[in-house]
A and B are shown apart, each in its own frame.
Chain A
Amino acid sequence: MNRSITATVNGEKVSTEVEPRLLLVHFIRERLRLTGTHIGCDTSHCGACTVLLDGVPVKSCTVLAVQADGRQLTTVEAIGAGQLHPIQKAFKEEHGLQCGFCTPGMMLSSFALLADNPDPTEEEIRWALSGNICRCTGYMNIVKAVRSAAVQMKQAAAVPAGAVAGS
């Protein structure tokens, strides 16, 4: 039996019907056409599908779309809509990506980390990102990018449009 759900996606209310077995990642990519969220492993291991549910990083391949009913959803499209967010700028400047497949998930985990801990150490960054796998960069430049974003965000105290700060 289909269920009607209403979720706030990147600041906008979306009401629709979904089959209960529909995974959140398919809802986001195929129904909402927000293809910034990637499917890597499809087995809950890689973190490429990370989105924020009420501000908290979740693997959208391991959550049902019906579970987003009444909740706030933030995908990479909301980070820096219009102009590059400091996290995106830092990934670009520090070469925090190569193929870019892991990048949306990396940036959302980084976003949640910095909302919770604006001045993380290298160790804390590595820990917070340990659920996101990158096959290209060797992580060094990702860590550098998050450090650099922390510094820039402290200076600018910027908040991305439509995104929810939370823990």
Chain B
Amino acid sequence: MLPAPFDYHAPETTEETLALLDQLGDEGKVLAGGQSLIPMLKLRFASPGHLIDINRVQGLDFLDERDATLRIGPLFRHKAAERSSLLASRYPVMAEAARQVADPIIRNRGTIGGSLAHADPAGDWGSVMLAMDAEFVLRSKGGSRNVKARDFFSGPFGTTLQPNELLAEIHIPATRGRSGGAYMKLERKVGDFATVGVAVHLQMDDGKVRSAGIGLTAVGPQNIKAEKAEAALRGQALDDATIKEAAALAAAAADPTSDQRGSVEYKRNVVRVFTERGLKRARDRAREGARG
């Protein structure tokens, strides 16, 4: 399979990238890891006139934690997330999701930023970002705006990203106090997209929940933030009854469709079970350590 013809640009700075995006408008597409875009081009689901390859821009692959914020650059790849000791120790929901995205060869190239911009409702990172209450910095030639993950997604493969904008940075509130997380994913075989995924991110104070984040994968037209379940957990001690109630609320927030991966009832039930297990795992992790 051969993509339709396009012109190729390989800018070396972010400014150059933004100028190209501005100039090319609808016809220009950013090429990050290419692990969704190139398959789309080959299937001719997309045929932009121009590709703007950002892989030669230096310094876009960062991950750092400062000023109470975890910052992630647009070329931070799944593999780097899988290997990061910072994420393993302080952001287990990210570390656990990273190793379950696609397969190791795809992970060598695919990026978190590209996944978010691609906005596949079965993509894993969107749910993780919703659970972590992330914010995205969208830069264009003229300026920059910040959009919360919960306001970013708009239906299958849809986002509020404008054609002239680059997803330039992901900001996540740094964890403090005791925190824990988990990413639960059901897949038909290793490397598959999720049948159902649940992301859980918890921060605790004195044995009570200060904040809880729950994101759902592949059970709706976009990644879903289970806000009622999150609210039910806030301020509570995480006893089994509270966890059960939150899990039921998360299942109610899911809006799956029946397909060859499972029925509506089945998927909703997996959300319930995964939320329960994920919350317990996150709670145990918060108890064990991760003080920041």
A→B interface (CB under 8 Å): 1, 3, 19-23, 26, 42-45, 47, 50, 56-59, 61-64, 66-67, 69, 109, 127-132
**Is B292 in the interface zone, CB < 8 Å from A?**
no
Contact A63 to B104, CB < 8 A, known contacts A3-B8, A44-B39? no
Residues in B98-129 with C-beta less than 8 Å from chain A: 102-106, 108-109
Query: Is B8 a contact of A56 with CB atoms below 8 Å?
Result: no
The 29 listed contacts between A and B (C-beta, < 8 Å) are A1-B7, A1-B8, A3-B8, A20-B5, A20-B7, A20-B8, A21-B2, A21-B4, A22-B2, A23-B42, A26-B2, A42-B1, A43-B42, A44-B35, A47-B103, A47-B105, A56-B108, A59-B105, A61-B42, A62-B106, A63-B34, A64-B31, A66-B8, A67-B53, A67-B55, A109-B104, A130-B104, A130-B191, A131-B103
Please, which residues of chain A bring their CB within 8 A of the CB of B8? 1, 3, 20, 64, 66
Report B41 CB to chain A, min CB distance, Å.
8
Query: Is B108 a contact of A64 with CB atoms below 8 Å?
Result: no
Report B18 CB to chain A, min CB distance, Å.
21
Query: Is B106 a contact of A44 with CB atoms below 8 Å?
Result: yes
Query: Is A131 a contact of B104 with CB atoms below 8 Å?
Result: yes
Report B112 CB to chain A, min CB distance, Å.
17
Contact A58 to B105, CB < 8 A, known contacts A63-B34, A67-B55? yes
CA distance A63 to B102 in the complex (A): 16
Report A27 CB to chain B, min CB distance, Å.
12
Contact A128 to B39, CB < 8 A, known contacts A19-B5, A21-B5, A63-B34? no
Query: Is A20 a contact of B191 with CB atoms below 8 Å?
Result: no
Number of A-B contacts (CB under 8 A): 81
**Is B86 in the interface zone, CB < 8 Å from A?**
no
**Is B173 in the interface zone, CB < 8 Å from A?**
no
Query: Is A131 a contact of B2 with CB atoms below 8 Å?
Result: no
Partner of B109, one of A45, A63, A127: A63
Query: Is A57 a contact of B106 with CB atoms below 8 Å?
Result: no
Of all A-B residue pairs in the complex, the 7 with the closest CB atoms, nearest first, are A131-B103, A20-B8, A131-B105, A21-B3, A130-B190, A131-B104, A62-B38
Query: Is A23 a contact of B2 with CB atoms below 8 Å?
Result: yes
Contact A63 to B38, CB < 8 A, known contacts A21-B3, A109-B105, A131-B105? yes
Please, which residues of chain A bring their CB within 8 A of the CB of B42? 23, 42-43, 61
Residues in B31-45 with C-beta less than 8 Å from chain A: 31, 34-35, 38-39, 41-42
CA distance A74 to B4 in the complex (A): 27
Please, which residues of chain A bring their CB within 8 A of the CB of B41? 21
Please, which residues of chain A bring their CB within 8 A of the CB of B7? 1, 20
CA distance A79 to B39 in the complex (A): 28
Chain A residue at minimal CB-CB distance from B192:
A45
Query: Is B5 a contact of A59 with CB atoms below 8 Å?
Result: no
**Is B62 in the interface zone, CB < 8 Å from A?**
no
Query: Is A64 a contact of B191 with CB atoms below 8 Å?
Result: no
CA distance A64 to B33 in the complex (A): 11
CA distance A130 to B51 in the complex (A): 30
Question: Given A50-B105, A64-B31, A109-B104, 7 more contacts at CB 8 Å?
Answer: A3-B8, A21-B5, A62-B39, A62-B106, A62-B109, A130-B191, A131-B105
**Is B6 in the interface zone, CB < 8 Å from A?**
yes
Chain B residue at minimal CB-CB distance from A1:
B7
Please, which residues of chain B bring their CB within 8 A of the CB of A58? 105, 108-109
Chain B residue at minimal CB-CB distance from A132:
B105
Chain B residue at minimal CB-CB distance from A127:
B104
Give per-residue flags for B151-179: 1 if the beta carbon is below 8 A from chain A beta carbons, else 0: 00000000000000000000000000000
CA distance A56 to B78 in the complex (A): 13
Query: Is B191 a contact of A131 with CB atoms below 8 Å?
Result: yes
Please, which residues of chain A bring their CB within 8 A of the CB of B190? 130
Please, which residues of chain B bring their CB within 8 A of the CB of A23? 2-3, 38, 42
Query: Is A20 a contact of B35 with CB atoms below 8 Å?
Result: no
Please, which residues of chain B bring their CB within 8 A of the CB of A131? 102-106, 191
Report A158 CB to chain B, min CB distance, Å.
24
